Structures are given as structure tokens and as C-alpha cells.
Amino acid sequence: MTRHSFRKLGLLSALYFVQGLPYGFQTTALPVYLRKQGVSLLVIGSLGLLALPWMGKALWAPLVDRYGSERIGRRKSWILPMQAGLAATCAVAAFVPVPGALPVLLGLVFLMNLFAATQDIAVDGFAVDLLEPRELGWGNSAQVVGYKLGMLTGGGLLLWMSDSLGWRGLFLAMSALSLGVFAVAALAREPRRSDAETGEGGERMSWREVRERLVALWRLPGTGWVLLFIGTYKLGETMVDVLFKPFLVDAGFAPELIGQWVGTWGIIASLLGSAAGGLLASRMPLLGALALASCLRVFPLGGEWWLALHTPTPTGVIVTTVAEHFFGGVLTTVLFAFMMSRVDRRIGATHYTLLASVEVIGKSPGGPLAGLLASTLGWSYADVFLLGTVLSVVFVALLWPLRRSAPAPRALPPPA
């Protein structure tokens, strides 16, 4: 890669890093903070609702594509205010007393997620505009690794440092990190859009053009297979993941060991896998890379099923956990590169956000389905793990019809 390419990847990594801070804080650090303040388990169990902006961001993605200042930069005119808003809410949260003003704090965390999710739309569009086809693999590796490092920092590193920083210092540290990336983004140059990407004379798209372009994308041959593929690739893996930690608890392993194996070594393996996925996607055709990553991902899932059939040993758990997180990270990065290769640049933020929403919504039923099968229908861990593994094998078969789907519409012509 060239020096210019490395600059692009560094910028994207920083932007995605900041977007991961609020979600990592919400899922890991916030429950600990609230419990130490005596907040009820009912409230803590409902914290997932604060992430609703991530689920619904496709609803306002067309606004991000439709509006923006050409003087500042179409993407930067969204990224910079969202960055500033994220930094401000983190700073204000540092001075909110808990539990006395708990609703205020939760409202601020919701706003953090709203700013980060909206910025994510603009950054995804920025990445579509910025990356050349040969850079998609590494670009999506920067996306996934940056976001995971943000989650790890907001939910793990800062929590670990909370004894010395204090909880107020934790919020202020997130604010400072956001401001630092704000400065980097403010200095970044946004690529000039060609007429093919903006319309005649670079005019702003009308709502009718946005709608017609989305309809044209839907009518492309093979679109249904692409959406089914994106929506199901993690379903079986999610079913296994959600019950694997309870399985380890029931097998008699100490919580601190589970945290070390899954929460630390597993995350490190996932980061390495995401980086390896970028290398794989840059060296192979994307469908070939998807096929290889999908097949490799099946083996550790089958290993977790095997562990459930026998008495698991620490070595077996560690090897299986590291392999599952590594190959899962590889597959995620390759899939995101595939998604970006299918995006129409002119509505890049909207199109990529819709595909990303399909990815999130598609894997969401995996956890509840696994819990239902185990708790209500009496399935054993081994039964659920086997089903998850089989579904992951079936997913590989979806690659075949994708070979005959329409080519990547990165420069789809305007609707007639």
C-alpha cells in the first residue's frame, strides 16, 4: 500500500474508534458503575434500549446523504457536529449525580449513541467515497479493528483505570478522546465527487432521485440472495456464542477464568482476525475470500459442540475460543468489504447503512432463539451448538447463487 493509503486507513480507524467508545461503555462499564451506585437490576437489564439509535439509523441515513455543506465537505459537515456532540455529552455526564439524576445520565448515554450512530452513517459514506476498490479489504479491516478497539477502551481499559481516574475522569477521558479525533477529522481533506456520483453538474439529489435509486438497486438481479446472505451469516454463530459462556459456568469454570479466556484472549484473537480479514480480502476475489472464511469459521463452532458432548478441559476451551473469535473476525471484515463493494457511491451512506442494518437485524434472533430452545424446549447445550454449526454450514451454500448476482454497482447509472 502507498503512504496515501495508510493515511486513509489511519483516519478511518480513528473515526470508527470513537464510535465504539459509547457502545463499549454502555455494555461493560455502565452496568458496573450503576450497580456500585445501588441501581436496581431491572434498570441495568434494560440498558440495551439505549442502543436503539444503532438499530434505527437506516431511517435517517437518507438525510445524511441528501444534505451537507459542499464547502466544509458533504461527509465532514455531519461528522464534525456529531463528534462535537459526543464530546459534549461525555463531558456533561461527568457531572451528573447518580442515582439522584439517573434519568439524566441515561438520556445522555442515549444521546452519545445517537451522535455515534449518526456519525457512523456519514463515516461509512466517507469510506465509500475515499477507498479505491483495491483498498476495500484493508479499509474494512480498519473499520472493524477501530470500532472494536473503541469498545475495548470504553468498556474495558477505562473501567480498569476507574480506580485511579474516578468515574468522572472516565467520562472526561472519553470526551478528550472524542475531541482529539475531532481535530484529526477537521484537518482531513474530503475527496471531490465526480458528476457520476453527484448528478449533473454536481447538483444535490432530490428525494425522488434517492427513492428511484434505491428501487433500482432492489431490482438488480440477485439482490434477494445478497440480502439473505448478509442477514444470515452470523445467525448460527450468535446462537452458539450466547450460550457458550453459561455453558462454561455450568461446566464448573471460575468466572475470572472465563473472563480471561473469552473477554481478553478472545477479544485479542478477534482483533487479529479482523486484521487478517483485511489481508485476505485484499489478496483474493471477495467471493473466494468469503467462501474460505466461512468454511474456516465452521470448525471452531463444531469444536464448541464437541466440548459440550465431553468434559471440557481448559486447553480445549482456550483453543476453541481463540479460534472461534479469530475466524469470526476474519469473516466479519471480509463480509463488510463485500458489502462496500456492492454500494452505489452516489447514495453510499444510505446504501451501506441499509446493508449494515440487515446484518445487525439478521443475527439478532440468534440469541433469543438459543435461549428459547434451551430454557423452554429443554434442548441441551450440545443440541443448540449443533444447530448453530449446521446453520453456519448452510450459510456457505448461499455463496453459490451469489456467483450469478449482479456486479458491484459502485457507479450505478442514474434512473431513467
The full set of domain ranges for the chain reads: 3-194, 209-402
Say which amino acid occupies 5.
S
pLDDT given at position 85: 94
CA–CA separation, 8 vs 2, rounded Å? 10
CA–CA separation, 47 vs 24, rounded Å? 12
CATH 1.20.1250.20 fits domain 3-194:
yes
The kind and range of the H/E element at 167 are: helix 162-187
Distance from chain centroid for Cα 133: 21
Is it true that 3-194 and 209-402 share their CATH fold?
Answer: yes
pTM confidence score:
0.74
239-254 average pLDDT score: 86
Least confident of 98-102, 127-131, 159-163, 191-195: 191-195
**Higher-confidence position of 254 and 256:** 254
pLDDT in tens, 168-208: 888 899 999 999 999 988 888 877 655 444 444 445 666 67
SS3 71: coil
Q: Is the predicted pLDDT of residue 299 greater than 90, yes or no?
A: yes
CATH 3.50.50.60 fits domain 209-402:
no
Only one residue has cell 493509503, namely 5
Only one residue has cell 437506516, namely 58
Q: Which of 391, 359, 388 is nearest to 371 (CA)?
A: 388
Per-residue confidence band for 410, with pLDDT thresholds at 50, 70 and 90:
very low
pLDDT in tens, 324-347: 999 999 999 899 888 888 887 777
CB 359 within 8 A of CB 335: yes
CA–CA separation, 153 vs 158, rounded Å? 6
**Cell triple for 269:** 484473537
